[in-house]
């Protein structure tokens, strides 16, 4: 059970060969083995959404996934969202609209909506709130996050904003 | 949100400096601080609410490969001193606790042993292997059981479970009852909450054996008081302890006290001579970190026929749980002290009981006085209901008016520069109450339940040292800051408060920029490191802006004086009269205009540090200024919340149709951050009022140990908040700052209850117990005799108030385990 096994996976475009115990959570492997500490662990039972990352482009809970399940998969974490010093339109909108306070849940929310806005470039407020309900935020009351996501969607569609 | 102020940088909605690192995954929270060779701990926790510890068998755990040791309360007692809380407060029992329990456990989740291992997985495996033999004791499950004659003692050293009891009387409320047209009694039962910061507790202790020095990495709202506690309980001096708080993923009052687990980790680091870390899991956070509230209040208002309140009496009982990390009267006292808040009441009495039970200990949670406004406004609504009066009129007739200021509350608290009547009128106007009443009548005719709530809040924000002294609580409300202009002209500053996500870095830089005369981007405010920051009292209440910002503002002004004195010398002037620093440039008043002098802050700094012999007579080298400031005994902000709801009779769901807050929090440092605090506080208050609840069963088992059981509101449940900002400066504080951020909790709890009860009025039932969950709403509606689907409701003014549900909410709500 605890004998480490080798795995190969791609994280943020970089290939990694790792040796990890089968029970080690993906969130712990990202944080401890790859030093990608932007992925946060808030509940370790899949409710809070803070650890959300992209597996092959789709949002997933890193705390409910074992790293050994990821052999051959491509992962994207918060560290790869901005391009150099340029924030993504979503990150920029969250900054301008004060859509974050303590920042602990923020990475999970950014990853959730980086994927969702590609799938649905013109969401309604109700749709944004529905998707956001998978991420808990204790600081903001969500209002500014919703505003920021709608603003980012508009900017990404080529409208004014962000 | 433009407001005319005399300020250049204070009041600007600048986006926050910390955002960039948080948005890109570059924040540095506790778990991101890595020290080589750090050991990990896991705590063994009690499965019983109340039990004697007969034996602890650690052999199997210690035999597990990777385990370095297992330790118990007896070990910790050799390494650390117990916590004794004995402030000289009448009616408050002194209490003492060891670092880990030795003889008995007092709640489900109490730590009884700690495993130290090479990693967290192994530590948790080993914790499962520790065998503790318990002799279960009877559980004290609630305050009624705790106060019953012969009740088992939660704390064996106390004479009974009533750990604190205080009474107060101003005027003669009993005589007012005799004069009253009616005595209206109302009940309020605010359930047990917990803070749920998204980042749980944790710490990384690093004992340097060579220097005999402890460095404690820990997300703490109050780094210096944390250092004092650590040093005292470890037998160290304050020169031997450094507390460093990294970014904090939320605190809400849960990250102030030195908890037993944290002290244990520090002691273990010293024992092993290695770094030791602890990361609390969510189960531990929900069951064992700190709880809050569980306050039951009864008011009796003696009123005239027109609704004027002649006298008010409050009975308050708080279920404090098993341990006191704070003086037990601390939270309840503030509720009783400021209850009358926005209303002119002079005859007032309270009786406040704080009771120990076998639950997790209580602590302050944003807002410690959360129930206050619900109790006062709910009392007003009860008066209106029973007398058939308009609730807005009852508020108006009792309100503190501008001409009444300064107004002394019956408890001696003084309100100055507050505007409760103005916020009420602003909220009432924004809602258009007559239009709402017309919609409501129409809806009722269609069998729908619409309600409007109003809740005026007077929020105690900044507690000065005078307050603590008057309350008999050792401690201080002052704050300390330094401002250093470096040789290049760059501005470093520091203060003793520590943010836990609010976004202090930008507003506090604005306060420094304003006081000094530079731009906020030139300023870096350093917080959370006890070797860097001056000894301050940390962040609690809503003191960040008034104490933190105010102290920095004054300190920066003092620094500006020195800068200008040096500049005067450089400009061959006799003194600094007619000089100012603006955006880092020295300007001179000539005739009626400020004109550039060509001297910059960098020029002044260079002379101060690198050419001190050229300084004017009597001016010392360098630009390093420090200052302490003690705010007034208390500062207050005020607001009125208004909320429209519709209750679905079929499901009990409460839909919030509109939510308005008129808030006057004086001068604000950064309105963007303030608005975020207003929205966030309302969100947290509504989440608590509608969904969250720590539930213990009758045997003291915590049934809400995951986030699937302890329900925090999601984006689908919370409304958009409309803010009507008002800014009446406090004339006694630097820049007129008042502070804010807890009033939103008080207002939202009160307003949602008011709106729900307005909606329920045609049914003749009143919700007196929170959370206002769908189950509770349905139970109330089922209990209403006159309720059937699809029928229209009569006007509530003509509906008799059904008191049969009063006082027996536990019977009517269909839930078990509640008294």
**Interval B509-537: pLDDT, tens:** 999 999 999 999 999 999 999 999 999 99
Question: Cβ separation of A98 and B672 shorter than 8 Å?
Answer: yes
Query: Residue A5: is its pLDDT beyond 70?
Result: yes
Task: Using pLDDT thresholds of 50, 70 and 90, give the confidence band for residue B468.
Answer: confident
Contact B32 A37 (CB under 8 A): yes
Both tokens assigned to B553: 């503002």
- For residues B146 and B49, the answer to whether their CB atoms sit within 8 Å is no
27-86 in chain A: CB under 8 A from chain B: 31, 36-45, 47-48, 50, 77-79, 81-82
d(CA B567, CA B600): 9
Interior angle at CA B27, CA B684 and CA B217, nearest 5: 90
**What is the pLDDT averaged over residues A2-6?**
91
pLDDT of residue B72: 98
A140 CB near a chain B CB, below 8 Å?
yes
Please answer yes or no on whether A143 and B721 come within 8 Å at the CB atom: yes
Q: Which of A85, A96, A138, A148 to mutate to test the interface with B (most CBs of B within 10 A)?
A: A138
Closest CA to B160 of B329, B356, B318, B363: B356
Q: Residue B706 and residue A45: Cβ atoms within 8 Å?
A: yes
Q: Do B198 and A42 touch (CB under 8 A)?
A: yes
- Residues whose CB is less than 8 angstroms from the CB of residue B595 and which lie 6 or more positions away in sequence, other chains included: B587, B588, B589
Average pLDDT over residues B571-575: 95
Q: Is the pLDDT of residue B802 over 90?
A: no
pLDDT of B812: 36
Residue B170's pLDDT band (boundaries 50, 70, 90)? very high
Put simply, the answer to whether B714 touches A143 (Cβ < 8 Å) is no
Measured distance CA(B337)–CA(B633) in Å, rounded: 13
What's domain A5-80's superfamily in CATH? Answer: Beta-grasp domain (3.10.20.30)
Q: Which helix (H) or strand (E) is B553 found in, with range?
A: helix B550-570
Residue B704: φ, ψ to 5°: -125, 60
Q: Please give the C-alpha separations between residue B69 and each of A9, B72, B262, B265, B737, in angstroms, as whole numbers.
A: 36, 10, 17, 13, 52
| Domains of chain A by residue range | 5-80, 89-156
B477 vs B629: CA distance, rounded Å: 9
Which residues in chain B have Cβ-Cβ distances shorter than 8 Å to A140? 676, 679-680, 683
Q: How far is A132 from chain B (nearest CA, A)?
A: 6
Nearest to A136 among B21, B252, B712 (CB): B712
| Alpha carbons B640 and B458: distance in angstroms, whole number | 9
- Residue pair B728/B666 in contact (Cβ under 8 Å)? The answer is yes
Nearest residue, CB atoms, A129 vs list B197, B680, B716: B716
pLDDT over threshold 70, residue B656: yes
Tell me: pLDDT of B801 over 60: no
Predicted confidence band of residue B814 (pLDDT cuts 50, 70, 90): very low
Nearest-angstrom CA–CA distance, B54 and B35: 37
CATH top-level class of B290-465+633-807: alpha beta
Average per-residue pLDDT in chain B?
94
Are the C-beta atoms of residues B666 and B423 closer than 8 Å to each other? no
Which helix (H) or strand (E) segment holds residue B613: the answer is none
CB contact under 8 A, B20 and A87: yes
Residues in chain A: 162
- How many helices (H) and strands (E) would you count in chain A? 5, 5
Q: What is the pLDDT of residue B621?
A: 97
Quick one: pLDDT at residue A159? 64
Q: How far apart are CA B440 and CA B760, in angstroms?
A: 12
CATH homologous superfamily for A89-156?
[2Fe-2S]-binding domain (1.10.150.120)
Identify the pLDDT of residue B817: 32
**The pLDDT value given to residue B783:** 86
Predicted confidence at residue B794, as pLDDT, reads 60
Cβ A136 vs Cβ A42: under 8 Å: yes
Contact B672 A39 (CB under 8 A): no
Note whether A141 contacts B684, CB cutoff 8 Å.
yes
Cα A128 to Cα A101, A102, A144, B251, B577: the distances in Å are 19, 21, 12, 27, 57
pLDDT of residue B471: 78
The reported pLDDT for the residue numbered B788 is 59
Say which CATH class B19-26+478-629 falls into: alpha beta
Every domain of chain B and the residues it spans = 19-26+478-629, 33-137+200-248+255-288, 290-465+633-807
d(CA B69, CA B41): 10
- Cross-chain residue pair A106–B23, CB shorter than 8 Å: yes
Helices of type H across B101-150? 120-129, 143-147
Long-range Cβ pairs for the range A6-10 (8 Å, 24+): A7/A67, A7/A68, A7/A70, A7/A71, A8/A71, A8/A72, A9/A67, A9/A70, A9/A71, A9/A72, A9/A73, A9/A74, A9/A75, A10/A73, A10/A74, A10/A75
CATH number listed for the domain at residues B33-137+200-248+255-288? 3.90.1170.50
The closest CB to that of A38, out of B25, B198, B250, belongs to B25
Mean pLDDT of B385-397: 97
Structure tokens at A2: 């605890």
- How many helices (H) and strands (E) chain B has is answered by 22, 30
Mean pLDDT of A36-49: 97
Chain B: nearest CA to A72, how far in angstroms?
Answer: 24
Query: Distance from B122 to chain A by nearest Cα, in Å?
Result: 10
Across the interface, do B706 and A43 touch by the CB < 8 Å criterion?
A: yes
Tell me the per-residue pLDDT of B745-762, one tens digit each, with 9 for 90 and over: 999 999 999 999 999 999
DSSP B386-400: HHT--HHHHHHHHBP
Assign B44 to helix, strand or coil. Answer: strand
Q: Do domains B19-26+478-629 and B290-465+633-807 have the same CATH topology?
A: yes
Q: Given a cut of 80, is residue B786 above it in pLDDT?
A: no
Which residue in B has a C-alpha nearest to residue A137's C-alpha? B198
Work out how many CB contacts closer than 8 A connect A with B.
171
B688 min Cα distance to partner chain A (Å) = 11
Strand, coil or helix: A77:
coil
| CA–CA gap between residue B813 and residue B189 (Å, rounded) | 13
B808 contacts: CB under 8 Å, gap ≥ 6: none
pLDDT at B797 over 50: no
Residues 6+ apart with CB under 8 A from B489: B522, B584, B600, B601, B602, B603, B604, B605, B606
**Average of per-residue pLDDT across B553-581:** 97
Pairing of β B83-85 and β B131-136:
unpaired
Using CB atoms, pick whichever of A44, A102, A137 lies closest to residue B248.
A102
């Amino acid at each position: 059970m605890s004998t480490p096994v080798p795995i190969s996976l791609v994280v943020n475009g970089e290939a990694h060969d790792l040796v990890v115990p089968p029970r080690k959570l993906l969130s712990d492997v990202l944080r401890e083995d790859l030093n990608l500490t932007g992925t946060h662990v808030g509940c370790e039972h899949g409710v809070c959404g803070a650890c959300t990352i992209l597996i092959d482009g789709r949002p997933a809970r890193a705390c409910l996934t074992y790293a050994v399940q990821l052999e051959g998969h491509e992962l994207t974490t918060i560290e790869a969202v901005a391009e150099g010093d340029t924030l993504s339109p979503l990150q920029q909108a969250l900054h301008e609209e004060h859509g974050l306070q303590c920042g602990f849940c923020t990475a999970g929310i950014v990853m959730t909506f980086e994927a969702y806005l590609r799938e649905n470039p013109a969401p309604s407020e109700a749709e944004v709130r529905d998707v956001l309900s998978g991420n808990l935020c204790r600081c903001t009351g969500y209002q500014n996050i919703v505003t920021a996501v709608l603003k980012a969607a508009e900017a990404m569609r080529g409208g004014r904003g962000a | 949100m433009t407001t005319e102020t005399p300020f250049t940088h204070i009041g600007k909605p600048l986006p926050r400096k910390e955002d960039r690192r948080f948005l890109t995954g570059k924040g540095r929270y506790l778990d991101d601080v890595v020290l080589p060779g750090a050991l990990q701990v896991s705590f063994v926790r009690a499965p019983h609410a109340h039990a004697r510890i007969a034996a602890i068998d650690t052999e199997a755990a210690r035999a597990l490969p990777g385990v370095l040791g297992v330790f118990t309360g007896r070990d910790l007692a050799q390494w650390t001193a117990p916590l004794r809380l004995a402030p000289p407060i009448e009616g408050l029992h002194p209490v003492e606790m060891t670092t880990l329990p030795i003889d008995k456990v007092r709640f489900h989740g109490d730590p009884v042993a700690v495993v130290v291992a090479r990693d967290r997985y192994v530590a948790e495996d080993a914790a499962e292997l520790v065998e503790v033999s318990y002799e279960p004791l009877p559980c004290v499950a609630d305050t009624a059981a705790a106060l019953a004659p012969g009740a088992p003692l939660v704390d064996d050293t106390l004479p009974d479970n009533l750990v604190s009891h205080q009474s107060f009387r101003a005027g003669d409320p009993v005589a007012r009852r005799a004069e009253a047209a009616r005595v209206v009694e109302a009940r309020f039962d605010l359930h047990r909450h917990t803070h749920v910061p998204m980042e749980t507790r944790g710490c990384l202790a690093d004992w340097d054996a060579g220097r005999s020095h402890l460095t404690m990495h820990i997300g703490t709202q109050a780094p210096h008081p944390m250092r004092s506690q650590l040093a005292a309980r470890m037998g160290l001096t304050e020169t031997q302890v450094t507390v460093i708080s990294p970014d904090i993923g939320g605190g809400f009052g849960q990250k102030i006290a030195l908890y037993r687990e944290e002290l244990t980790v520090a002691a273990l680091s010293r024992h092993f001579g290695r770094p030791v870390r602890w990361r609390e899991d969510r189960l531990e956070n929900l069951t064992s970190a700190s709880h809050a509230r569980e306050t039951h209040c009864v008011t009796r208002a003696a009123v005239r026929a027109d609704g004027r309140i002649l006298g008010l009496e409050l009975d308050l009982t708080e279920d404090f749980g098993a341990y006191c990390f704070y003086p037990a009267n601390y939270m309840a006292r503030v509720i009783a002290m400021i209850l009358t808040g926005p209303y002119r009441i002079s005859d007032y009495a309270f009786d406040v009981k704080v009771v120990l039970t076998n639950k997790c200990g209580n602590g302050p949670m944003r807002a410690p006085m959360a129930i206050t406004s619900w109790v006062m406004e709910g009392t007003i609504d009860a008066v209106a209901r029973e007398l058939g009066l308009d609730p807005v009129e009852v508020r108006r007739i009792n309100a503190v008016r501008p001409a009444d200021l300064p107004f002394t509350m019956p408890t001696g608290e003084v309100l100055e520069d507050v505007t409760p009547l103005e916020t009420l009128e602003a909220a009432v106007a924004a809602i258009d109450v007559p239009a709402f009443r017309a919609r409501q009548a129409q809806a009722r005719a269609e069998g729908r339940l619409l309600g409007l709530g109003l809740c005026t809040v007077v929020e105690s924000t900044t507690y000065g040292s005078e307050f603590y002294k008057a309350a008999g609580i050792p401690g201080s409300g002052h704050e300390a800051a330094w401002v250093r202009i470096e040789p290049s002209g760059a501005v470093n500053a520091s203060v003793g408060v520590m943010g836990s996500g609010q976004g202090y870095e930008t507003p506090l830089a604005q306060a420094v920029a304003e006081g000094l005369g530079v731009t906020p981007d030139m300023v870096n405010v350093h917080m959370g490191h006890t070797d860097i920051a001056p000894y301050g009292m940390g962040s609690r209440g809503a003191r960040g802006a008034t104490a933190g910002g105010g102290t920095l503002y004054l300190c920066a002004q003092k620094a500006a004086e020195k800068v200008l004195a040096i500049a005067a010398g450089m400009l061959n002037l006799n003194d600094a009269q007619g000089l100012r620093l603006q955006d880092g440039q020295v300007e001179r008043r000539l005739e009626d205009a400020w004109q550039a002098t060509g001297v910059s802050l960098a020029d002044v700094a260079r002379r101060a540090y690198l050419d001190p012999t050229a300084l004017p007579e009597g001016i010392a080298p360098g630009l390093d200024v420090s200052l302490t400031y003690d705010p007034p005994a208390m500062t207050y902000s005020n607001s009125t919340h208004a909320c429209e709801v519709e209750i679905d009779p079929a499901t009990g769901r409460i839909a919030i149709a509109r939510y308005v807050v008129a808030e006057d929090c004086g001068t604000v440092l950064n309105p963007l951050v303030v608005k975020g605090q207003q929205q966030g506080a309302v969100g947290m208050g509504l989440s608590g009022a509608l969904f969250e609840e720590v539930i213990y069963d009758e045997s003291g088992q915590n049934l809400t140990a995951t986030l699937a059981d302890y329900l925090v509101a999601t984006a689908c449940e919370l409304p958009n908040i409309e803010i009507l900002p008002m800014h009446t400066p406090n004339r006694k504080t630097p820049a007129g700052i008042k502070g804010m951020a807890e009033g939103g909790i008080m207002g939202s709890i009160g307003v949602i209850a008011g709106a729900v009860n307005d909606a329920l009025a045609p049914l003749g039932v009143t919700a007196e117990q929170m959370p206002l969950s769908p189950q509770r709403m349905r139970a109330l509606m089922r209990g209403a005799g006159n309720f059937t689907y699809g029928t229209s409701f009569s006007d509530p003014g003509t509906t008799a108030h059904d008191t049969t549900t009063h006082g027996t909410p536990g019977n009517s709500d269909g839930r078990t385990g509640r008294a």
